[in-house]
Amino acid sequence: MINWADIDTVLLDMDGTLLDLHYDNFFWTQHLPRRFAEIHGGDHDSVSAQLMDRILSERGTLNWYCLDYWSRELNLDISELKKEVAHLIALRPACDQFLEALKLSGCRSWLVTNAHRDGLNLKLEYTDIGRWIDQLISSHDFALPKEDPKFWETLQHRHHFEPSRALLIDDNIQVLDSAARFGIGHLLTIAQPDSRQPPRSDLAYPTLHHFDDILPIPTPQEQPAE
């Protein structure tokens, strides 16, 4: 699936790629409506429907991912509410083995996420994935979501990598489309971002079920001589 000799830089999404998307889906569709109704009042079902309509209206924009934005919009401390269900934060299968192998391979490993820094820091605290990753990059640092091709231009300008020798792994098809238009040379997506939902099929990009699909990764000593 991947010829690792062609890869210098691995760009890794977080939610739904390295981490199980169940945590985020549960928070936004179940925990947040319940806590909103408890704090502000209202019928749970009607609150849930109204919240989903409001949230979905921002899909694909930076606001969709911005905890500060939703805290202002909903008059709630979203970062604190996310901590209430942080026990649901979990790695996807074979994620830790993959990240360790990637670290030993000599490839640069960059976390490139749309997550707000508060959410990113919470997940780093619970999973310790930062110890394997060379760069931790949030799209909020650029004020552009990954769905915008200008995000990738800005990333290359600030961090300097060769797009044709980069691998992006991301569960978001719109993000992969954006990266493809920019010129990222190697693209993979995830079959089952949320462990509580059925796997996806007939996707437009080569698809991982688990990270052991692309293991082992050769170390520099194991790379064939040129």
Active site residues: 6
The size of the chain, in residues, is: 226
What is the distance between the terminal CA atoms of the chain, rounded to a whole angstrom?
21
Residue 217 has phi, psi (to 5 degrees) of: -110, 125
Residue 152 has phi, psi (to 5 degrees) of: -70, -35
211 Cβ contact list (under 8 Å, min separation 6)? 92, 93, 94, 95, 97, 98
Residue 110 contacts residue 137 (beta carbons within 8 Å): yes
DSSP structural state of residue 31:
I
**Alpha helical stretches, state H, 6-161:** 22-26, 32-40, 44-56, 62-65, 67-74, 78-83, 95-105, 117-127, 149-159
Residue 166, SS3? strand
